Amino acid sequence: MLVGRYTVLLDANVMHPSIVRGALLWFAASRLFRPLWSEAILAEWEESLRRRFADLAADHFQRQRTYMDSFGEALVEGYEPLMPALTLPDPKDVHVLAAAIHGRADAIVTYNLKDFPVEAAARHGIEVKHPDDFIVNVIDLDTAKALTAIGNQRRQFHNPAVTAEDYLDRFRKSDLVQASHRLQPLVELF
């Protein structure tokens, strides 16, 4: 991975829980990687959250979108012509691979590894990574920058405030077990 150059398409399922989305976006804001997504991915994320949390404030998504739009070239458009030539176990995921190819992503970060066979992505020069593996890679790549990003994210939580231990517990609950383990000895630094 090259700092600030490694380009990653974020699947909708890593946009929630918010602890994962927040960590990934803080890493991106710190130029530890370049994020990509599509309108279809963002719509899928929003629909999923609305199903799970019907009481979310109407402006919640607008605030998130405004922040995500600040990532400039993150929005991938024009990938649709690639879709008919692609096959995946779940046809509903083809748009994700097509957006990754069109956006020249180095990787797709998703919890849904089973529906993105390594061979299907690799033939386009794309890795498929679980968010836990990806976050560990980011931490190992530039530990100081990653810890600063994580500390910034953690300090955003208030009412109640989130301790470093609470933060790691949220990581574990979000299936970021390796990342939590990697960060545990560094807990005093963020």
Where is average pLDDT lowest: 63-67, 114-118, 180-184?
A: 63-67
Mark whether 119 and 78 lie in a shared domain: yes
The last residue of a domain, from among 130, 147, 172:
130
pLDDT band at 44 (very low <50, low <70, confident <90, very high): very high
What pLDDT score was predicted for residue 113?
98
The whole domain housing 169 covers 136-189
The residue assigned the tokens 């000895």 is: 185
Do 19 and 68 fall within a single domain? yes
Q: Which of 8-22, 32-46, 51-65, 134-148 has the lowest mean pLDDT?
A: 51-65
59 pLDDT exceeds 90? no
pTM: 0.94
- For the cut 70, the answer to whether the pLDDT of residue 54 exceeds it is yes
Give a yes or no: residue 161 inside a domain: yes
Tally of structural domains, the chain: 2
For the cut 50, the answer to whether the pLDDT of residue 139 exceeds it is yes
Residue with tokens 């012509």: 81
**Claim to verify: residue 102 and residue 171 sit in the same structural domain:** no
Structure token digits, residue 188: 């005093």
CATH number of the domain encompassing residue 72 = 3.40.50
Tokens representing residue 131 in the block = 């968010």
> Could you tell me if 97 and 157 lie in one domain?
no
